[in-house]
Amino acid sequence: MYNPFQKILSSVSSFAGDGSGEAVGIDIGTSAIKVVELKKKAGKVILETYGAISLGPYAGGEVGQVTNLPTEKIAEALKEVLKQSGVVTSSAALAIPMQSSLIFPIELPAQIKDSEIPSIIPIEARKYIPVPISEVSLDYFLLPEREPSFEDMNSSEAIPQKTSKKNVLVVATQNDAVSRYRSILSQRNLTFSFFEIEIFSSVRANFEHNLSLVMLMDFGASRTKLALVEFGMVKSYHAIERGGADITDSISRSLSIPFSEAEKMKKEFGLFGNPAEKSLADTIKVHLDYIFSEANNVVLAYERKNKKTVSKVILSGGGAGMKGLKETAAANFRSEVELGHPFSKAGAPAFLEKVLSAMGPEFAVSIGLALRKLQ
């Protein structure tokens, strides 16, 4: 039977892990799978292992290419990356891509009892969801009346409600996407712990105690995801249909070189430019101009509506490693810009620090998932 309130999503439920001291976060991106295993020992989070595998070759293509693979192929790649990285935890937390879900706030009259909310949400949600309600799984949580502190966000205690209106945040996720991920896990004999929309995981991994308005940008291969975050809470999020693979495609076409070579050149020189190929930086910049101008629209609209300004921008995702991106972003947003360093949330041997700092942005989603399970 269709159950609209399967508790599949997280950010949203108060679910706080299964109490065990280990967790594996799995981020199935369009170009690569990233896994991170964390352990909690004596109250401290420790990095056990991590790994990534490109999906391009599983589709007969190249590293860095965007793929749309059947579940069997993804399960095969997942098996390989779990083996290579030596992950032992069998209960996994997975990220759901932003485009498979929709999140929106609903206001309900204060006199509605909490026990009545589950039956009211599907009726109200119809107004917001462009597909039949039977094709999505709904989840929700009550938003606090006052602005919560970061500590509130991380505490499991209820935040006191005032009595005017009940604000509910509803998350609708396509059933297709959920069953796809369940099938991938079961093919690998993994049990599923929870699903979470990718940007929520990324925020958890990249944020310290930021109270003011901060924007997170996740530069993926297929899309650039944005989240506007206040008090550690995602207030608004957007996806820009442009990513790292589009940049590589353009380089490949404009210089008439194979995708694989273009990908290498992009990573080696980035916006600093290749002395032998003067047009490289310009080709990259065309795409970044588009991404930043879309991001500016989102920021401006939010700032106007809420009478607040973005105080900082955090860069995440594999594409955040682009040389010169931080400087370009700082010039565009005229605010502080920093590269996320999610591995700093887990203890690791000192000699790994440099590597982990450089690789961190790529693993942010998988780290955030594992962190949540240990919370």
Ligand X SMILES: Nc1ncnc2c1ncn2[C@@H]1O[C@H](COP(=O)(O)OP(=O)(O)OP(=O)(O)O)[C@@H](O)[C@H]1O
Nearer to Mg ion, 97 or 270 (CB): 97
The residue assigned the tokens 């958890």 is 204
| Residue 216: C-alpha distances to residues 53, 115, 195, 200, 234 (Å) | 24, 35, 20, 10, 10
**For binding to ligand X (CB under 6 A), which residues are involved?**
29-32, 64, 220-223, 243-245, 248, 263, 266-267, 270, 317-319, 321-322, 362
Half-sphere exposure of 15 (CA within 13 A, CB side): 21
Nearer to Mg ion, 7 or 267 (CB): 267
Residue 256: count other Cβ atoms within 10 Å of its Cβ: 7
Q: What beta strand segments (E) does 175-288 contain? A: 191-197, 214-219, 224-230, 233-240
Quick one: what does residue 308 bind among Mg ion, ligand X, none, with the CB cut-off 5 to 8 Å set by partner type?
A: none
Nearer to ligand X, 250 or 332 (CB): 250
Helix (H, G, I), strand (E, B) or coil at 19: coil
**For binding to Mg ion (CB under 5 A), which residues are involved?**
29, 220
User: Contact, 214 vs 183, CB < 8 A?
Assistant: no
User: Contact, 311 vs 216, CB < 8 A?
Assistant: no
Quick one: what does residue 245 bind among Mg ion, ligand X, none, with the CB cut-off 5 to 8 Å set by partner type?
A: ligand X
Quick one: what does residue 137 bind among ligand X, Mg ion, none, with the CB cut-off 5 to 8 Å set by partner type?
A: none
Q: At its nearest, how many Å lie between ligand X and the CB of residue 103?
A: 17
Least Cα distance to 215 among 149, 308, 139 occurs for 308
Nearer to ligand X, 77 or 245 (CB): 245
Q: At its nearest, how many Å lie between ligand X and the CB of residue 273?
A: 13
According to DSSP, residue 235 is labeled E
The residue assigned the tokens 């009726």 is 123
Q: At its nearest, how many Å lie between ligand X and the CB of residue 98?
A: 9
Quick one: what does residue 340 bind among ligand X, Mg ion, none, with the CB cut-off 5 to 8 Å set by partner type?
A: none
Q: At its nearest, how many Å lie between ligand X and the CB of residue 268?
A: 8
Nearer to Mg ion, 122 or 220 (CB): 220
Quick one: what does residue 32 bind among ligand X, Mg ion, none, with the CB cut-off 5 to 8 Å set by partner type?
A: ligand X
Structure tokens at 252: 């490949």
Q: At its nearest, how many Å lie between ligand X and the CB of residue 195?
A: 16
Quick one: what does residue 322 bind among ligand X, Mg ion, none, with the CB cut-off 5 to 8 Å set by partner type?
A: ligand X
Q: At its nearest, how many Å lie between ligand X and the CB of residue 72?
A: 19
CA distance 60 to 274: 29
Name the packing angle between helices 259-269 and 280-306 (round to 10°): 70
Helix (H, G, I), strand (E, B) or coil at 341: coil
Quick one: what does residue 321 bind among ligand X, Mg ion, none, with the CB cut-off 5 to 8 Å set by partner type?
A: ligand X
Nearer to ligand X, 40 or 223 (CB): 223
Q: At its nearest, how many Å lie between ligand X and the CB of residue 149?
A: 30
Nearer to Mg ion, 26 or 229 (CB): 26
Residue 62 amino acid letter: E
Residue 355 amino acid letter: V
Nearer to ligand X, 204 or 223 (CB): 223
Quick one: what does residue 56 bind among Mg ion, ligand X, none, with the CB cut-off 5 to 8 Å set by partner type?
A: none
> Residues of 83-93 as b/e, b for ≥16 C-beta within 10 angstroms?
eebebebebbb
Q: At its nearest, how many Å lie between ligand X and the CB of residue 228?
A: 18
Half-sphere exposure of 297 (CA within 13 A, CB side): 8
